[in-house]
Amino acid sequence: MSTCTVTGPTVINFKGQVNSVQDRCAYSLMSAPSLSDLLVLGNFQERLRKDVSFLDSVTLRLDGSGVLIHLEQGGRLDDTTLNLNSSTQLVHGVELSKDQTGVTAKVSLSNYTTSVFFDGYTAQISLTGPGLLSHISGLCGNSSSSLGEVRLPNYSVSGCEIQYNDTADSTINCTTMTERCNLLKESPFTTCNSLIDPQPYVTACTNTLCKYPAVDGLSCQFLKAYSRVYSLHNNKTVGDWWSKAGCSPPQAFCQNRTCSPHEFCGQRTDGGETRCFCRALFASSYTSTNTLGCPTVCSQNSASLSLVGCLLEDKGIDYSTLHLNDQTCRGLMDEQTHMVTFSFNGSNTCGAVVTTNGSQLIYKNTITNQNSSSDIITRHDQVYVDFSCVKTQSVVKSFRIKGSSVITSGAGSYTLTMKTYTNANRTQAVEPNTEVRLDQRIWVELKTGG
């Protein structure tokens, strides 16, 4: 058996060599001529920082059937959650199973068996078969290949290769983090060191923790990956290493929590339950303009404004407490995107204030968490977001016919057409070159719409 570990931005290949992914693209982790029906690829994304990428999901491509199987964060398979502790399920010839530690996909081709384990943060690819390593390509195989050679544009988003620089995190003590990573060379890991070289894992751990804050169990992630490799190769456990390291027992992080593509799952800063955080690149487009959502969408008779759920949570705001001027008008959260949308229309203005400015009608409403207009207590999480739509009123025309007036008025859009004729049947229209004498009778036809 040979094992490749992909954790955080780091790939420790089958030969124990270390490589690191710096962008947010999809990469071939493993493929081989002898395994022509199988490609394992890793999808990388940023989290809290734009300049550090993490393994976000793993995809198995079965060329023979054109099937793609996605192993995603939260123990999901192709956006579908497998039942915890479920028995092995056969999907497109792939054996799938799941327990509290993560999801495993096993593929048997010819004399070789490939097992892919993913817990939402770390993937470990175990390959069993006779003398195959020299023919394997991808980040787990040939270390001489450049990142560009194994990048998969067809599975990557446009612009994923662009790299960013963030301000260094002054709260990180690299010396402390290095000592933390060197626990892999101390008891109880010393029993593993003769079988599995700990240095690649120490290097991966140090490179990551000296640049990215030790949140979401990251300081335990590399220890867990190393202990699992030892268990795969020796069929024995390291023992209770987590107690000494101050970690939780091995289990999948964010098990069964679903986040949208612009989010990732992490632990709340107060140490409580997990939640979905905004990815750094996504959030920057809003924080750079000091906004919490998208521009107002105005249509013929309605207005809506969408706020970003993860940005609200970053500020400690519970979206369910927000409402418009009419407190019965609340925001609706989209289950897929986690965007919270507030809207009103002509049938229900939700307390919108309507004012005029010349030919313009201005509809203004407010998203707030105040209980009423008399709420004078200042709250730390006070929200007060004004949004409005401006509509141009159709020009109001009036004219007098035999002492009566025809007037259009009120809010909205109207069409008013007028045609004149020289006969009662309205078949002879008055054209620009028609001569109309004083006191001549003409017939006027008015049509309205809207």
Last residue of one domain, picked from the residues 228, 252, 271: 228
Most distant CA atoms of the chain, gap in Å: 115
If one counts the domains in the chain, the total is: 3
**Residue 276, pLDDT score:** 93
- Residue 232 predicted with pLDDT over 50: yes
Last residue of one domain, picked from the residues 228, 249, 268: 228
HEC per residue, 127-187: EECCCCHHHCECCCCCCCCCHHHHECHHHCCCCCCCCCCCCCCCCCCHHHHHHHHHHHHCC
Q: Are residues 379 and 407 in the same domain?
A: no
Contact of 327 with 319, CB cutoff 8 Å: no
- The three-class DSSP label of residue 443 is strand
Please tell me the least confidently modeled range out of 4-18, 142-156, 169-183, 384-398. 384-398
> pLDDT-derived band of residue 377, with 50, 70 and 90 as boundaries?
very low
14's enclosing H/E stretch is none
CA–CA separation, 205 and 81 (whole Å): 30
**Residue 34, pLDDT score:** 67
Average pLDDT value for residue range 161-184: 95
Residue where the block lists tokens 């999907």: 91
Select from 88, 206, 324 the least CA-distant residue to 103.
Answer: 88
Select from 5, 3, 1, 2 the least CA-distant residue to 201.
Answer: 5
CA–CA separation, 39 and 125 (whole Å): 12
- Residue 375 predicted with pLDDT over 70: no
- Residue 372 predicted with pLDDT over 70: no
Would you say the C-alpha torsion 44, 45, 50, 52 has a positive or negative sign? negative
Would you say the C-alpha torsion 12, 16, 17, 18 has a positive or negative sign? positive
Select from 419, 324, 423 the least CA-distant residue to 367.
Answer: 324
Q: What is the CATH number of the domain that holds 358?
A: 2.60.40.3210
Q: Are residues 425 and 381 in the same domain?
A: no
Q: Which range among 28-37, 140-149, 299-308, 434-443 has the greatest average pLDDT?
A: 299-308
Whether 255 is in a domain gets the answer no
Count CA within 13 A, CB hemisphere, residue 363: 26
Whether 238 is in a domain gets the answer no
> pLDDT-derived band of residue 383, with 50, 70 and 90 as boundaries?
confident
**Residue 82, pLDDT score:** 64
- Residue 378 predicted with pLDDT over 50: no
269/308: higher pLDDT: 308
Peptide bond into 188 cis (omega under 30): yes
> pLDDT-derived band of residue 376, with 50, 70 and 90 as boundaries?
very low
In terms of C-beta distances under 8 Å and separation of at least 24 residues, what long-range contacts does 168-173 make, across chains too? Answer: 168/211, 169/49, 169/211, 169/212, 169/213, 171/213, 172/209, 172/210, 172/211, 172/212, 172/213, 172/214
Residues in CB range of 333: below 8 A, 6 or more apart: 309, 319, 339, 340, 341
**Residue 62, pLDDT score:** 83
370/116: higher pLDDT: 116
Whether 317 is in a domain gets the answer yes
**Residue 176, pLDDT score:** 96
CA–CA separation, 352 and 188 (whole Å): 66
Residue range of the domain that includes 220? 2-228
Q: Are residues 407 and 386 in the same domain?
A: no
The pTM of the whole model exceeds 0.85: no
Average pLDDT value for residue range 158-186: 95
**Residue 399, pLDDT score:** 47
- The three-class DSSP label of residue 196 is coil
Please tell me the least confidently modeled range out of 118-132, 389-403, 427-441. 389-403
Q: Are residues 191 and 52 in the same domain?
A: yes
Residues in the chain: 450
Q: Quote the strand ranges of 63-121, DSSP E.
A: 67-72, 76-77, 80-81, 89-91, 94-99, 102-109, 112-118
Whether 273 is in a domain gets the answer no
Give per-residue pLDDT as tens, 279-334.
999 999 999 888 999 999 998 778 999 999 999 999 989 999 999 999 999 999 99
Q: Are residues 139 and 18 in the same domain?
A: yes
> pLDDT-derived band of residue 224, with 50, 70 and 90 as boundaries?
very high
From residue 298, give the alpha-carbon distance in Å to each of 289, 324, 343, 364: 21, 16, 10, 11
Q: Are residues 301 and 209 in the same domain?
A: no
Q: Are residues 215 and 100 in the same domain?
A: yes
Q: Are residues 62 and 190 in the same domain?
A: yes
Q: Are residues 37 and 135 in the same domain?
A: yes
- Residue 147 predicted with pLDDT over 70: yes
**Residue 65, pLDDT score:** 62
Chain-centre distance of CA 399, in angstroms?
A: 58
> pLDDT-derived band of residue 407, with 50, 70 and 90 as boundaries?
low
Whether 161 is in a domain gets the answer yes
**Residue 86, pLDDT score:** 66
Q: Are residues 345 and 421 in the same domain?
A: no
Q: Quote the strand ranges of 330-442, DSSP E.
A: 332-333, 339-345, 353-357, 360-368, 384-392, 398-401, 404-407, 415-421
112/412: higher pLDDT: 112
Q: Are residues 290 and 409 in the same domain?
A: no
Provide the H-helix boundaries in 255-340: 280-287, 309-314
Residue where the block lists tokens 């006969």: 423
Contact of 279 with 47, CB cutoff 8 Å: yes
Q: Are residues 192 and 332 in the same domain?
A: no
Q: Name the residue type at position 335.
A: E
Whether 264 is in a domain gets the answer no
Last residue of one domain, picked from the residues 208, 228, 248: 228
What percent of the chain lies above the pLDDT cut of 70? 87
